[in-house]
Amino acid sequence: MRILFLHPNFPAQFRHVATILAQNPKNQVVFGTKTENNNTIPGVRKVMYAPNRDAHPNTHHYLRSTEDAVLQGQAVYRMCIELKASGFVPDLICGHSGWGPTLFVKDIFPNAPLLSYFEWYYNARGSDADFDPDEPLSADDFPRLRTKNTPIMLDLVNCDWGLSPTQWQKSQFPPIFQPKITALHDGVDTNFFKPEPNAKLVLPNLDLSHVDELITYVARGMEPYRGFPQFIETLAYVQERRPNCHAVIVGENRVCYGKAAPAGTTFKDMMLEKFPLDLSRVHFTGGLPYGQYLKVIQASSVHVYLTRPFVLSWSMIESMSTGCLVLGSDTAPVREVIRDGENGLLVDFFNPKKIADRIDEILDHPTRMAELRVNARQTALERYSHDDLLAQQVKLLEAVANRSLPPKLSIPGISNPELFMSESGQSSAKKSDKKSSKKQRGFAALIDSPAKD
């Protein structure tokens, strides 16, 4: 089989499935990408594409991301013309939707089935965008978010099938398209991410082997989307109560998702100025290689994972696979995986004091929490094992290539809409409604603050 993968980054979500397909000498695997790096996969031919320019600054601001997607789609279009001229015609195209690489591939390879990886669909209501009542959407945000879906909508129409990593993420897409999307997680390497009993944290520049109480937090950036402000405030409470407790924060001082911090500062700087922590007990490691990251979560006493209703981070499931006691935000993507009191604990995203209280509960009762750690590991093994899910991904690709749709797969886990709302979630929604009325959100607010042309 000849497979063409498309993603701006290499190898991104397709690392493992591309690797296993390339191991079969009967397959030809080509990966189109625009990011130059030293990453390689044996048997995978990396082909570069490059947009001719960025979106024009005078383009309407609702449409700049769409113009970027079109430009990227054009670059892939030119790349595909060259591939076709060289004799490569794929039996299957598999690409990430949203950035634009898959937009025009059907115009070059009309007979090749297209499997689109649908990671997120933008909704102005009931999702990440309006989650924080202290950050009301502006008049521009509603139409801007709707327009941002333009390249994704084109892929939804044109693809032969879709793939989304979680039921929650699939649920964000328009109901009319959900029947052609399979919810199938990428999986985590449960053989690599495994418990290390009585582990102590020692990194090249950090020795915490003397520490008995270790809170860990992992995210790509330090941003509101992943609850970084709430976590720093939580540490302020914890440090008052627990003089021997340390925290390790893995991630870079930047924003990956959501709005940037005000010019000239970062959310890290803002929060540390607001809550002057004892920094001898808070350790910012920056980004870490996988081996060092593994040591961090293996040594964790409690791993805090906070997220808005958005894309679920691999790190949460990797932490569970390592046997961490995960204290997660009571938000929809987390509830799909964690059952409070069974394989982890849930807490109100907006309440740092309660987060600190639950940390106390965990650290004060390690024996009582041992079963939750075992169950967390078991959840990862049963529902998110890389070995099991990778086999299903290969079956999915083969089914789409053979146009055997809908694909017949054996996927662990359940689809339960009730996972997407809990009592505290309803409480947060009521709180949001109450604050929203004070800020005059909704139609009246839009009249008062018209959209910008």
The structural domains of the chain, with segments of one domain joined by +, span 2-187+386-401, 205-383
User: Could you tell me which of 356, 413, 407 has the C-alpha nearest to residue 384?
Assistant: 413
User: In whole angstroms, what is the distance from residue 32 CA to residue 113 CA?
Assistant: 16
184 within 8 A of 393, measured Cβ to Cβ: yes
Predicted confidence at residue 446, as pLDDT, reads: 37
205-383, which class in CATH?
alpha beta
**Per-position DSSP letters for 370-428, written without gaps between them:** HHHHHHHHHHHHHH-BHHHHHHHHHHHHHHHHTT--S------S---GGGG--HHHHHH
180 within 8 A of 163, measured Cβ to Cβ: no
Three-state DSSP state, 226: helix
CATH topology of domain 2-187+386-401: Rossmann fold (3.40.50)
User: In whole angstroms, what is the distance from residue 258 CA to residue 307 CA?
Assistant: 12
Predicted confidence at residue 411, as pLDDT, reads: 84
Give every residue of the chain whose pLDDT is below 70, as ranges.
Answer: 413-453
What would the pLDDT profile of 319-364 be if each residue is shown by its tens digit?
999 999 999 999 999 999 999 999 999 999 999 999 999 999 999 9
